[in-house]
């Protein structure tokens, strides 16, 4: 797990477009934070900069007291796009997370088998990606992100292309994995109900140029269930409040 500080972060493109403007926020050790905002506000850009996949124009990311890139802690990233290698079986795709790590082969096999069991893919370890549904492919992608137990996990609309029923099921599986293997998670979504279901806090960005408009604490006890939670009147109140902020 890790503490993350975003300090005066600005992203300006050579065309002059400002995607992010003086973004400041702190994410506590082991916190599950969800970022929402209008389309084009820089949510994914912010996450990519935090994950070290893009560079800011100004400002910096500090992880556990060190600037990003300097003794940076290991992290994993899950994207909306299908990210499995089609020439590898499911188990091999998950094991690829260990490719640059010095982990004994037997340990890799055990950890891959265990995490596939946690996401309901035990029977598909030898399957090819084209044999899986969209939801199963994202389960495998989440398994690959968790299998090395990184202290930080970045997720960029990982369930965005899936139907609502599948998204709710995956939200429950993600929360169960996170409770079993705590880590700091930054999760970007367009789904307001998904944000309220998952988050300890929701970071609401303004329209472009994106900056922090409001931070909304979500204080439902854990463990949570994505279905029963929606029957709580406080859930609906949070959803309405977030929609009002996004107007």
Residue 170 lies in a domain: yes
The two tokens of residue 151 are 């202290």
pLDDT at 68 over 80: no
Q: Which residues constitute the domain of residue 139? A: 85-150
Examine the domain organization and report whether 189 and 213 are in the same domain: yes
CATH code where residue 58 lies: 3.40.50.300
Examine the domain organization and report whether 99 and 205 are in the same domain: no
Examine the domain organization and report whether 119 and 106 are in the same domain: yes
Q: What is the pLDDT of residue 71?
A: 43
Q: What is the pLDDT of residue 101?
A: 85
- Per-residue pLDDT reduced to its tens digit, 83-138: 899 999 999 999 999 988 888 899 999 999 999 998 999 999 999 999 999 999 99
Chosen domain end from 150, 165, 182:
150
Examine the domain organization and report whether 186 and 233 are in the same domain: yes
Where residue 1 falls among pLDDT bands split at 50, 70, 90? low
Answer for the pair 62, 215: CB distance below 8 angstroms, yes or no: no
DSSP symbols for 67-131:
ETTSSPPPEEEEESS----TTS-HHHHHHGGGTTS---HHHHHHHHHHHHHHTT-GGGTT--GGG
- Per-residue pLDDT reduced to its tens digit, 5-61: 999 999 999 998 999 999 999 999 999 999 999 999 999 999 999 998 899 999 999
Query: Which among 50-54, 79-83, 187-191 has the top mean pLDDT?
Result: 187-191
Residue 78 lies in a domain: no
């Amino acid at each position: 797990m890790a503490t993350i500080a975003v300090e005066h972060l600005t992203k300006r493109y050579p065309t002059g477009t400002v995607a992010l403007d003086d973004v400041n926020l702190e994410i506590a050790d082991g916190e599950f934070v969800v970022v929402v905002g209008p389309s084009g506000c820089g949510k994914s850009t912010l996450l990519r900069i935090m994950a070290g996949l893009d560079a800011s124009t100004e400002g910096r990311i500090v992880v556990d007291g060190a600037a990003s890139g300097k003794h940076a802690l290991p992290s994993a990233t899950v994207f909306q796009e299908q990210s499995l290698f089609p020439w590898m079986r499911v188990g091999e795709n998950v094991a690829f997370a260990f490719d640059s790590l010095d982990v004994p082969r037997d340990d890799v096999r055990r950890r891959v088998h265990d995490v596939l069991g946690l996401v309901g893919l035990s029977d598909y370890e030898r399957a090819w990606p084209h044999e899986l549904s969209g939801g199963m492919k994202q389960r495998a992608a989440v398994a690959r992100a968790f299998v090395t137990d990184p202290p930080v996990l970045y997720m960029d609309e990982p369930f965005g292309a899936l139907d609502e029923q599948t998204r709710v099921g995956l939200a429950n599986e993600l929360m169960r994995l996170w409770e079993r293997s705590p880590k700091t998670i930054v999760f970007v979504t367009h789904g307001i109900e998904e944000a309220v279901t998952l988050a300890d806090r929701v970071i609401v960005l303004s329209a472009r140029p994106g900056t922090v408009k409001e931070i909304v604490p979500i204080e439902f006890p854990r463990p949570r269930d994505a279905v029963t939670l929606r029957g709580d009147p406080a859930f609906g109140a949070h959803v309405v409040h977030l929609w009002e902020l996004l107007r």
